[in-house]
Structure 1
């Protein structure tokens, strides 16, 4: 067994400033999803904007499919949302020629339908413009507001590592309310050893956790060895898209210097972003010095790389750093409330870890 751990990644901003509790109540962690488009109100797809607490996205999709008497594949969503939170997100349900159901009769503890409409096209994974977060941190110890303001300024300027959060790797509430992390990684290790996982959803989460863990490792090693230094052959993603290009230095030394200066300017304007590999079969997109660096890192975990490639996953790129937007705070008694927005696929906990050492304080489950 590899014994993969979910949260051993390096910091960009010298570690957290203070300690606090998170998720003492589900409403302490709020997320509102914003799509890249507006449903047009017509078509064969029911679109439901829901608010859920204590429910994971996949379970809600399963319950919607059961209620509508449709195959699970007919229910879609733009992205998964944290189970241990109060989240607002869209679901799409495709009926085609089948008779529609009355969603006013759909009942699920912890869920409320906020809006119903229709759309002509399916709600596809990834069609999220941003997620807006409001997070309340409780029982703060040793908060220095001057230091907090400086840290937020640093984050505004330099961003944070775009790590996948612990939710991706699995969170399980024990009977005493404590949280055990890494369940999906444990499943992934069993999968690598040849153990079959029959539940398609669990298998998917295990594979996703393994691939995400390896990406985090790449980013953490980048912080340690190269940071924001531009390497020849680095792969840069155009902000707000999946398009990327390779920064291959060519020509004379003065020409290469000009190329670097132009790229650094684009980085400062956040027009382009450093990237790291999401592992799969095929060649890495990086070249030259950057390729050599990524090959050295991947050689640390050949079994993981080989397994991910064997699953038919393709080499992809993901931004290595992200920049929260509209980052603001409010102090209320001994609580700190943080508000910010992140692009689709990024985790609020990756912002929080650069500010606060958080202790998950979820209430014990009812028995």
Structure 2
């Protein structure tokens, strides 16, 4: 992935384990304390959320078990799971699972019933120079945000979840949870490729003079294997885009907005299409809105023909990554913002510890890769 930065990657060691990586869900709302469901607050380690659901299925019908989000296997994770109220969990015996609390609730938990997640991460083998660089990059990320890539966990141990999805032909309603997860990895793959493209374009818009940007062709920033070959040799901008490019260089944020981008109020709100770039840039840098990208699938917003000469650049790029996928189509923030950021450098141990909050859907590992400017 491209992160929109030109400096060399920072040097540190991140070990994905229960001591150095802790995540805790923050619920979207409090339990109602009444109803036919029981919301469990569970601490788990060394097992995935799917493994946890399989174990709970020994005590309650799997279809009646709900969860708000997937948590890493190689972490100490605190998450909420709902089961039918009368479920007897007294016989659960597993050293990797501990039920810390339980409360009655009216509804079964569903994906997205989550405000976000709190994280604690310990980095190791951090020398004083890289500690200073980490502090600088973290402060910049807190001010300007970071690209909302799907994390590598989405793609499996062998980075092939999205490839496995191609063999699934079932309609959406007949897919199992694991099949839906694999198909979502395919959506994630194309989203990441689209976001990578937008960041490469943004970097060129920021570093080249306007006259040079006006000469850019699609082949200068788009992977030729993923885009319509008839589009590669076409100019990306026209002379009327000069004002857009001036604004892009005026506002110092790594992701550059384009007219007709579809944005959304952050962290919640309605979608809208950009008309006045200056107004939306000002709201973007103050973290009131963020651009969004397409997760291809059924019922997603119709995209226009990328080769239509009247189409805008934003739609031309997005249309190139819109694919027929057996999933519900939607949109996702392309850019996210971190809050509650704290860090401490322990020089004698060469440890760098940080804690922060991310909204639902954002990956701590993607945030860390952005700060590092490289893969973990």
TM-score by length of 2: 0.76
Instruction: Figure out how many residues of one structure are paired with residues of the other and give that number.
Output: 313
Contact in 2 for aligned 1:44/1:120 (Cα 8 Å): yes
Cα offset, 1:137, TM superposition: 1.4
- 2:192 maps to 216
* Residue 154 to residue 292, structure 1, CA distance change in 2 (3 Å): same
Cα offset, 1:16, TM superposition: 6.1
Please say if 1:313 is aligned against 2:328. yes
- 2:78 maps to 88
- 1:78 maps to 68
- 1:365 maps to none
* Residue 42 to residue 330, structure 1, CA distance change in 2 (3 Å): same
Cα offset, 1:340, TM superposition: 0.9
If asked which structure has higher relative contact order (CA below 8 Å, sep 6+), I would say 1
* Residue 336 to residue 326, structure 1, CA distance change in 2 (3 Å): same
Q: Greater shift after overlay, 120-129 or 74-83?
A: 120-129
Cα offset, 1:163, TM superposition: 0.3
* Residue 235 to residue 244, structure 1, CA distance change in 2 (3 Å): same
* Residue 329 to residue 44, structure 1, CA distance change in 2 (3 Å): same
Q: Greater shift after overlay, 102-111 or 33-42?
A: 102-111
Please list every run of 5 or more consecutive structure 2 residues that lacks an aligned counterpart in the other structure.
203-253, 305-310
Q: Distance in 2 between matches of 1:11 and 1:104?
A: 48
- 1:167 maps to 153
Contact in 1 for aligned 2:141/2:371 (Cα 8 Å): no
Q: What is the DSSP-based 3-state SS (H/G/I as helix, E as strand, rest coil) of the residue aligned with 1:355?
A: helix
Q: Distance in 2 between matches of 1:234 and 1:136?
A: 37
Please say if 1:292 is aligned against 2:325. no
* Residue 263 to residue 189, structure 1, CA distance change in 2 (3 Å): same
- 1:243 maps to 270
Cα offset, 1:164, TM superposition: 0.4
Q: Select 1:36's aligned residue among 18, 28, 31.
A: 28
- 2:281 maps to 264
Q: What is the DSSP-based 3-state SS (H/G/I as helix, E as strand, rest coil) of the residue aligned with 1:168?
A: helix
Cα offset, 1:131, TM superposition: 0.2
Please say if 1:327 is aligned against 2:337. no
Contact in 1 for aligned 2:180/2:327 (Cα 8 Å): no
Contact in 2 for aligned 1:49/1:89 (Cα 8 Å): yes
Q: What is the DSSP-based 3-state SS (H/G/I as helix, E as strand, rest coil) of the residue aligned with 1:292?
A: helix
* Residue 358 to residue 234, structure 1, CA distance change in 2 (3 Å): closer
* Residue 143 to residue 26, structure 1, CA distance change in 2 (3 Å): farther
* Residue 359 to residue 17, structure 1, CA distance change in 2 (3 Å): closer
Q: Distance in 2 between matches of 1:283 and 1:331?
A: 46
* Residue 199 to residue 236, structure 1, CA distance change in 2 (3 Å): closer
Q: What is the DSSP-based 3-state SS (H/G/I as helix, E as strand, rest coil) of the residue aligned with 2:313?
A: helix
Cα offset, 1:66, TM superposition: 1.2
**What is the CA deviation profile of residues 137-186 of structure 1, one whole-angstrom value per residue up to 9, with x for unaligned ones?**
12336743332222112111221110000110012xxxxxxxxx314134
Please say if 1:130 is aligned against 2:116. yes
Contact in 1 for aligned 2:341/2:354 (Cα 8 Å): yes
Q: Select 1:187's aligned residue among 155, 161, 164.
A: 164
Q: Distance in 2 between matches of 1:271 and 1:234?
A: 15
Q: What is the DSSP-based 3-state SS (H/G/I as helix, E as strand, rest coil) of the residue aligned with 2:11?
A: strand
Q: Distance in 2 between matches of 1:13 and 1:293?
A: 21
State the Cα RMSD in Å: 2.5
- 2:142 maps to 156
When you count strand as a share of all residues, which structure comes out higher? 1
Contact in 2 for aligned 1:16/1:353 (Cα 8 Å): no
- 2:292 maps to 275
Cα offset, 1:136, TM superposition: 0.9
Q: Distance in 1 between matches of 2:140 and 2:132?
A: 12
* Residue 72 to residue 148, structure 1, CA distance change in 2 (3 Å): same
**What is the CA deviation profile of residues 272-312 of structure 1, one whole-angstrom value per residue up to 9, with x for unaligned ones?**
101111111354468733112222x32xxx7xx13x1xx15
Q: Distance in 2 between matches of 1:144 and 1:273?
A: 30
Q: What is the DSSP-based 3-state SS (H/G/I as helix, E as strand, rest coil) of the residue aligned with 2:93?
A: coil
**What is the CA deviation profile of residues 242-272 of structure 1, one whole-angstrom value per residue up to 9, with x for unaligned ones?**
5210113xxxxxxxxxx32221221122111
- 1:352 maps to 368
Q: What is the DSSP-based 3-state SS (H/G/I as helix, E as strand, rest coil) of the residue aligned with 1:43?
A: coil
